Structure 1
Amino acid sequence: MASTQYDGAASPATATASDDFARLVLKLDAVVTGLNGIAYLALATVLDSFFGVSTGVQYLVGAFLLLYVLGVLAIATRQEISRTGLTTVIAANLMWFALSLVVVVSDALSPTGVGAVWIVLQSLVVGGFAALQYIGLKRL
């Protein structure tokens, strides 16, 4: 009987310990992405000439990023992280990474040099989050 109680008590602690890394990376992703989204919304008129990307695009991207943050936080703050949810975040981050590079290479948004560098750096950060989240997924 004592062994049954021990097994029941140990199981949630083990599950929590195994998802700590994934939870941390998801929350860090949410913070960085949220700050980026807020910046695009609040500073679009300043950043348009600096990055060469129109305010309309920045407003859309900023709003999208804030909605994305809500999804990431919903996954990160559940008692148990969903493997499907985490996999979805990884896939979304990989798509963002790839599409950002396509935007720069194709000159789709006609960014300035600074804007192109920003887009590439941002894509690398997002790709880094995807890699770290993948490590977290493997630890689940």
Structure 2
Amino acid sequence: MTALISSKSLLGRSLLVDGIISGATGALMFLAASPLAGLLGLHESLLRIAGFSLLPYAALLVFLAVRPTVSRPLVWGIVVVNVLWAVDSLLLLTTDWVAPTLLGYAFTVFQAVAVAGFAALEYVGMRGGRTVLAA
């Protein structure tokens, strides 16, 4: 199996910033779901579940960011999850399941674009990263 050099590289920095921002966003959505629901026009349960799901994901990203190497297939998985999150966020806005406010639209689109940006940075970091053989 091959691994990528992680820490202090574009990949490592991208994973770290993605993890920190995902953790902060997840904590905000989980802990403040009720007031955010009113402001954003999104379901409280959607915000709470999405926020809660971000917390272990963020912890994984930070953990991987500080590792000296990280598995290439694992990085591919992170890129795919980020792309799916971004696409699903935008698709959510096309359904009748939510009725977001203008702020809700802005929040959803902004976070989708940010997550897609992290996917791109992690992809570029993976493609440009130095590969090592892992035992």
TM bucket normalised to smaller: 0.7 to 0.9
2:133 corresponds in structure 1 to: none
Structure 1 runs not aligned, ≥5 long: 1-14
1:29 aligns with 2:18: yes
Superposed structure 1 runs of 4+ greater than 3 Å apart: 15-19
CA contact 1:38–1:66 (8 Å) conserved in 2: yes
CA contact 1:19–1:81 (8 Å) conserved in 2: no
- Give the CA deviation at 1:109: 2.0
Distance in 2 separating the partners of 1:84 and 1:69: 18
1:49 alignment partner, one of 38, 54, 57? 38
Q: Which has the higher helix share?
A: 1
Q: Which has the higher strand share?
A: 2
CA contact 1:18–1:139 (8 Å) conserved in 2: no
2:91 alignment partner, one of 72, 86, 102? 102
1:69 alignment partner, one of 38, 41, 58? 58
> Which fold has the larger relative contact order, with Cα–Cα distance below 8 Å and residues 6 or more apart in sequence?
2
1:137 alignment partner, one of 110, 126, 131? 126
The amino acid across from 1:87 in the alignment is: W
Q: Secondary structure at the match of 2:98?
A: coil
1:128 corresponds in structure 2 to: 117
CA contact 1:75–1:86 (8 Å) conserved in 2: no
Distance in 1 separating the partners of 2:84 and 2:5: 29
Structure 2 runs not aligned, ≥5 long: 130-135
Distance in 1 separating the partners of 2:17 and 2:7: 17
Distance in 2 separating the partners of 1:134 and 1:114: 30
RMSD: 1.8
